[in-house]
């Protein structure tokens, strides 16, 4: 897909800005919470519970907006929060793509998780970013043209981890440092506004499990190379469907499915919202109803490049409990999950001396 024309005002309808007084008060609260958790890994229930308590300090209007997005969604599939406090003294943008110690950015980490606590339960994946619950999205030298968060080329519209059986329901992107040229537009495309523009034949095909999604390279590098089970890009109520799509990694399995995916790829960019994320801006994407991507930008690899922090949340954590160790929010590697699923689907052996 070529870089599309963007509506740069659409997200203003779902933008909420914190006052300087609110932001300062939250910074103090998040710092105090982080200090009390010093030395603790994030993937511990008591730690996440303390951060959820800190989330009670968020302004009421923000809490209402987050709960509304979780319960009913909106036409844009997103919520933009401005002036969320971040750390005043940032380290250099991590060149390798990971900041090992969350305490290096305590305000940003606690704040992002506090917001996420109102969307659902935080979740991570062992295959991706070492299972970290809060991940760094930065350009990595040598990965410029990869269709990954480490690249700088145009990032195709996609559902986050759409191939995974426990894909996130929400993802948040918190900007710590923007790109210097302000050219990096984060893109959001929701299914609701473009649904009436799709032909009936297209919608019927998109509601069939005639598509599969190739695993991203981060999952493939841990031995999880392969494809998802067949999926239907559209599911749920006719007038308010959910969307799973990936215009780089999704493969149609029939000719009709290919035509339908091409129509979706043509129509969706006609109502695409774009915004340049700046420090202290947090974008929440409803991963059930919208795809997201990013325009190209130039990196300098000098410690001052664009730096986002990413976090995932699910509305029902218990659904993945068989795929996580007790007390952990991190799903096991995909090969382990697939082997368990295959064993569960296998027919039970017939006891000796009995027939079917």
Q: How confident is the model at residue 9 (pLDDT cuts 50, 70, 90)?
A: confident
Per DSSP, what are the bridge partners of residue 190?
290
CA nearest 186: which of 308, 19, 340, 315?
A: 308
CA nearest 120: which of 159, 158, 172?
A: 172
Q: What is the mean pLDDT of the chain?
A: 92
Q: How confident is the model at residue 147 (pLDDT cuts 50, 70, 90)?
A: confident
The percent of residues above 90 in pLDDT, for the chain, comes to 80
**pLDDT at residue 356 above 70?**
no
pTM: 0.93
- Considering only residues 346 and 153, tell me which one the structure prediction assigns the higher pLDDT: 153
The percent of residues above 70 in pLDDT, for the chain, comes to 94
CATH of 10-188+273-290+297-342, one of 3.60.130.10, 3.30.300.30, 3.50.40.10, 1.10.275.10: 3.60.130.10
Domains of the chain, by residue range, sit at 10-188+273-290+297-342
Q: Tell me, what's the pLDDT at 119?
A: 98
Q: Tell me, what's the pLDDT at 7?
A: 82
Q: How confident is the model at residue 8 (pLDDT cuts 50, 70, 90)?
A: confident
Q: What is the DSSP string of 192-209?
A: GGGGGGS-HHHHHHHTSS
Beta strand pairing call for 234-235 and 250-252: unpaired
**pLDDT at residue 355 above 50?**
no
Would you mind telling me the total number of residues written for the chain in this entry?
356
């Amino acid at each position: 897909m070529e870089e599309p024309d963007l509506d740069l005002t659409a997200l203003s309808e779902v933008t909420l800005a914190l006052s300087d007084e609110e932001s300062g008060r939250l910074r103090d609260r998040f710092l105090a919470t982080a200090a009390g958790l010093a030395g603790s890994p994030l993937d511990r229930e008591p730690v996440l519970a303390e951060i959820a308590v800190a989330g009670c300090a968020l302004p009421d209007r923000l809490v209402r907006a987050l709960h509304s997005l979780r319960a009913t969604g909106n036409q844009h599939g997103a919520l933009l929060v401005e002036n969320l406090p971040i750390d005043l003294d940032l380290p250099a943008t991590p060149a390798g793509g990971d900041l090992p110690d969350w305490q290096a950015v305590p305000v940003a980490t606690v704040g992002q998780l506090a917001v996420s606590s109102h969307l659902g339960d935080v979740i991570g994946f062992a295959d991706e970013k070492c299972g970290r619950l809060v991940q760094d999205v930065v350009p990595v030298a040598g990965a410029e043209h990869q269709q990954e968060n480490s690249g700088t080329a145009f990032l195709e519209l996609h559902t986050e981890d759409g191939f995974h059986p426990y894909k996130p329901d929400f993802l948040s992107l918190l900007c710590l440092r923007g790109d210097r040229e302000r050219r990096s537009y984060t893109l959001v495309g929701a299914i609701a506004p473009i649904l009436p523009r799709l032909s009936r034949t297209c919608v019927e095909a998109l509601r069939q499990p005639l598509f599969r999604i190739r695993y991203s390279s981060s999952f493939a590098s841990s031995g999880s190379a392969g494809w998802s089970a067949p999926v239907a890009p559209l599911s749920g109520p006719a007038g308010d469907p959910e969307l799973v799509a990936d215009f780089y990694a999704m493969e149609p399995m029939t000719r009709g499915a290919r035509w339908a995916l091409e129509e979706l790829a043509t129509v969706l960019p006609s109502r695409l919202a774009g915004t340049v994320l700046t420090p202290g801006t947090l974008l929440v994407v409803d991963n059930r109803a919208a795809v997201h991507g990013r325009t190209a930008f130039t990196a300098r690899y000098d410690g001052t490049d664009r730096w986002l922090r990413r976090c995932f949340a699910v509305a029902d954590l218990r659904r993945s409990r068989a795929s996580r160790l007790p007390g952990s929010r991190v799903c096991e590697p995909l090969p382990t999950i697939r082997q368990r699923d295959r064993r569960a689907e296998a027919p039970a052996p017939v006891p000796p001396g009995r027939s079917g």
